Amino acid sequence: MITASHAARLSPPGPDWRTLWREAVTDPAELLALVGLEHLADRLPADDAGFSVRVPRGFVARMRHGDERDPLLLQVLPQLAELQQVDGFGTDAVGDMDARSAQGVLHKYDGRALLIASGSCAINCRYCFRRHFPYGDEMAAAGRWRKALEHVRQDGSIRELLLSGGDPLALATAKLEELSQGLAELPHVIRLRIHTRLPVVLPERVDEGFQRWLAELPLQKVVVLHVNHANEFDAGVDAACARLREAGATLLNQSVLLRGVNDDADTLAALSERMFAAGVLPYYLHQLDRVQGSAHFEVDDARARALVEALRDRLPGYLVPKLVREVGGEGSKRPV
């Protein structure tokens, strides 16, 4: 239970998260100018390569000024390489469309159902496996979650609900409170897992109201973050992680192995150490989901396995993530 003193001590200062969301950088030329790389604007693809730019200014502030190979910048800056058509890369990289079970529900694995809570993200990562997903037709939060929760109610084997998107924390806390009311009618659901990037890219989202909502949920709570590089952490992210732990959540992290961003042992080891310092355990290191426009990020399997072996040689086992790939139609993540 969170005391008033804890909430006050951990409440984030500064502007409301919704204001910061609206102030995000959406022009790639402006993004380049903010990091001192205006001269690279002629390398930008037309129409953002069909996938809009969105980057919170707090995340931009963590980028290295004047460095065109900055690992945070590379995750969000449109590249001409995205326009290349590469065999094996498509619009539904992990079989989401075949896993639809109800409005906004993906049911891939036994005992678990995933709700597409929102189609919005605070940051648009260029390797996003759902960059082509039809969010307008697939939203669990529509109609106060009724269709999604009815599917879960009828299947007593579902023990865990996953909130994904987009990013579920893009929803207002009041919308999440609607979900809480529906969960009260699902006694077979014992655990809620939230997959989110917001505590990292917009840590102000983990405000007092959200923290209180999470703390009061009568379920086991897991928050799975998405961090790919140690430089994504700062004091604000550390504070957001502390607030999530105060609310009773177990914190895990999923990374994506990305060429030029984190595909070396030193970088991955530093990431594991830094996230553990923030109270987060490594969970998965994903091989790239082969979504159209992301081929330039791919790392081959042999190199990926060598990197994980190097981590085993230098880190305790609990800091070594599992190297996996998601394959559409399979009953679990596939170890690589």
Annotated binding residues, as ranges? 121, 125, 128
Annotated binding residues for [4Fe-4S] cluster, as ranges? 121, 125, 128
The 3-class secondary structure across the chain, one letter per residue, is: CCCHHHHHHHCCCCCCHHHHHHCCECCHHHHHHHCCCHHHHHHCCHHHHHCCCCECHHHHCCCCCCCCCCHHHHHHCCCHHHHCCCCCCECCCCCCHHHEEECCEECCCCCEEEEECCCCCCCCCCCCCCCCCCHHHCCCCHHHHHHHHHHHHCCCCCCEEEEECCCHHHCCHHHHHHHHHHHCCCCCCCEEEEECCHHHHCHHHCCHHHHHHHHHCCCEEEEEEECCCHHHCCHHHHHHHHHHHHCCEEEEEEEECCCCCCCCHHHHHHHHHHHHHCCCEEEEEECCCCECCCHHHCCCHHHHHHHHHHHHHHCCHHHCCEEEECCCCCCCCEEC
